[in-house]
Amino acid sequence: MADHADDGNEGGGGDRDIFVYRGGLAPQHVTHVRIDKSVEVIDEDAFNCCEDLVHVETHDRIRRVGERAFFGCKSLRNIDLRSVVEIGEDAFYECVSLTDVQFGNKLETIGKYAFIQCTSLEHLNLTSIITVKTWAFRSCKALTSIKFSERLETIELNAFCACERLRHIAIPLKRDLFTFNPELQEYNQFSRCEQLTTVDLVGGAHNKTIASLHMDSWRTEMIAEINRINQVLPNTPADEKTESIKRWVDSVIDGMDHYKAEHHRYVKEALTLLELALWKAKLDEKEENFAEGGTKKKAKLDAESVRKEKRVTCGAGTVIRNILPFLKLE
């Protein structure tokens, strides 16, 4: 069901007609659309090839955009999808005038070919996305920057292939972000992105870990390794950029794992030495007291019981927690 409505002016004498969408397929001639508040899913093919569609007014209860819902809507300029959880396959295929899409903090999945050849789309702020499917943003030739969040888990094959002006991406520090092409034996998520030169890490976990490392040299080395990608990437061939990013992510994670292990080894040694020092100090004090007030035999027996007690209750744990806050690593 779908109805027409005026633009809200008194008497119904608006400058244009607004089509109220309540489900199903819309007429091909619509230019301005209001999605009725009863609609939670924009159906498959709902506005397929509505080439005159310019504006869509959404609401905060829409959960899904169906397959090919706005396929070939060549005049559509912007759309608010802040409540949407999933965008289906081919949903905005070849929406060549689309410059701005507002994604919210609920979006989890962008389907195959969802925004392929949206040649006017310039920026992506994907604050909650978990999965970007195959070819989702292929040939978005005006796209210059992409920001993901720590929730990102997978970018599938060719997702951003041939985004010729893409210069900057921000990704989380995670292994296996990129799926592998077994036929070509390569990672090609950013294939043919000649201008991709800058990669930043999102989330603060890596910064906290680096700041907590015990040695200054370790911290310096890890910061240098994180910065290395932006020195290497400008000179990396376009078809090798994804592979280079993948190797860099693995290298940073491996480095952090290595230095965390070294950190904990040093801490364990320090704890052991501290425990022995405290135990010896307590033992010496106790033996002195015994020597002053009793026989040597009694002192020896009591000393053995003190050793046994101090192995368990030397108090070292309390001292460490108070003076070595760097022990706890993310």
Q: Which of 206, 214, 205 is nearest to 324 (CA)?
A: 214
For Cα atoms 142, 230, 207, give the angle at the middle one, nearest 5 degrees. Answer: 110
Tokens for 14, please give them: 């608006």
Q: DSSP letter at 233?
A: G
Of the pLDDT bands very low, low, confident and very high (cuts 50, 70, 90), residue 259 is confident
CA–CA separation, 78 vs 249, rounded Å? Answer: 34
DSSP label at residue 85: S
DSSP 242-275: HHHHHHHHHHHHHHHHHHHHHHHHHHHHHHHHHH
- Residue 54 makes CB contacts below 8 A (sequence gap 6+) with 31, 32, 75, 76, 77
**142 pLDDT above the threshold of 70:** yes
Q: Where are the domains of the chain?
A: 2-203, 262-327
Superfamily of domain 2-203: Ribonuclease Inhibitor (3.80.10.10)
* Model confidence, pTM: 0.79
Tens-place pLDDT, residues 93-129: 999 999 999 999 999 999 999 999 999 999 999 999 9
- What's CA 199's distance to the chain center, in Å? 13
- pLDDT range class, residue 303, cuts 50, 70, 90: low
Give the residue-averaged pLDDT of 215-239.
93
